[in-house]
Amino acid sequence: MKKITKIISIINQKGGVGKTTTSINLPAALSMFNKKMLLIDFDPQGNLSTGIGVNEQDQENTIYSILTSANEDINNVIKKTLVPNIEIIAANQDLAVFDIEVVNIKDKEYLLHTKLKEIQGKYDYVFIDCAPSLSQLTINALTASDAVLIPLQCEFFALEGVANILKIIDSVKANLNPNLSIEGILLTMYDRRNRLCKEIVEDVRKNFGAIVYDQVIPRNIKLSEASSYGKPVILYDSNCSGSIAYMLLAQEMLAKQVYIQ
């Protein structure tokens, strides 16, 4: 049976919510279950690329290259990472001008979708780390995706943020990609000592029910330290609370896939 690649955009319009951290560490955890993955850095800041060990010299052939050249083979820009089951298409500042350069291109919303057809079946998952903004890049990511994973920081305006993201998803479903679904809402930066965090978790679960993951990601300095060394946290400190949380999240995600099937 041919492998079916599931494409997941990791999105939140707000920065600093654990989006890139999840884009690195959830795939790293899934790799331990023998899943093969491609990461796509879709943010001009290139934090996913550096966070998983791609240095600046290796960031010349990037996602920008294939989006702006119809003849460029996507396989030419895929790079290996420290994790055997994970490959990446990097990004750099060139991506910042994408919206301007494609403004007059027909069907510009489908550029990434068209390119990803070339690697369908090669991976179990493709994870797209989206920039914290509603741009043509984000629209391309959502149009190319099967599902959306929403990291949500345990803070006061969390519910308001989710409502805005859901409106965007509904718009893309109505106009560009009717098959787009919500993979899940992931609560991040959870501090069990903070009463407000607990109240926010309760509110999010009350409002969104089963699409909220049971597993939450705690505040853990090791997660930030690992990224600064260009490693997933599981390679940096496999026993820390961040590593354990992402392993449990991977298990929950895989269990849900089996249940759905």
Chain mean pLDDT for the chain: 90
Which pairs with CB-CB distance under 8 Å and at least 24 residues apart come from 168-176? 168/13, 168/134, 168/138, 168/142, 169/142, 172/139, 172/142, 172/143, 176/109, 176/110, 176/139, 176/142, 176/143
In degrees, rounded to 5, the angle at the alpha carbon of residue 108 between the alpha carbons of residues 128 and 131 is 30
The predicted structure's pLDDT at residue 154: 85
The whole-number average pLDDT for the span 52-62 is: 75
CA pair distance 44, 41, nearest whole angstrom: 8
The predicted structure's pLDDT at residue 261: 42
Domains and CATH numbers, the chain: 6-260 (3.40.50.300)
The predicted structure's pLDDT at residue 250: 97
pLDDT tens-digit series, residues 106-148: 899 999 999 999 999 999 999 999 988 888 999 999 999 999 9
Distances (CA, A) of 80 to 29, 61, 69, 86, 205: 17, 13, 22, 7, 37
- Asked whether residue 35 carries a pLDDT value surpassing 50, the answer given is yes
DSSP assignment of 42-105: ESTT-HHHHHTT--GGGGSS-HHHHHS-TT--GGGGEEE-SSTTEEEE---GGGGGHHHHTTT-
pLDDT tens-digit series, residues 210-244: 999 999 999 999 999 999 999 999 999 999 999 99
- Asked whether residue 1 carries a pLDDT value surpassing 90, the answer given is no
Q: Where are the beta strands (DSSP E) in the chain?
A: 6-10, 37-42, 78-80, 86-89, 125-130, 147-153, 181-188
* Residue 194 backbone dihedrals phi, psi, to 5 degrees: -100, 120
Sort 84 into a burial class: Cβ within 10 Å, 0-12 / 13-18 / 19+. Answer: exposed
Q: What is the pTM of this model?
A: 0.94
Higher-confidence residue of 196 and 97: namely 97
The predicted structure's pLDDT at residue 260: 43
- Exposure class string for 5-34: b at 16+ Cβ within 10 A, else e: bbbbbbbbbbeebbbbbbbbbbbbbbbeee
The predicted structure's pLDDT at residue 56: 63
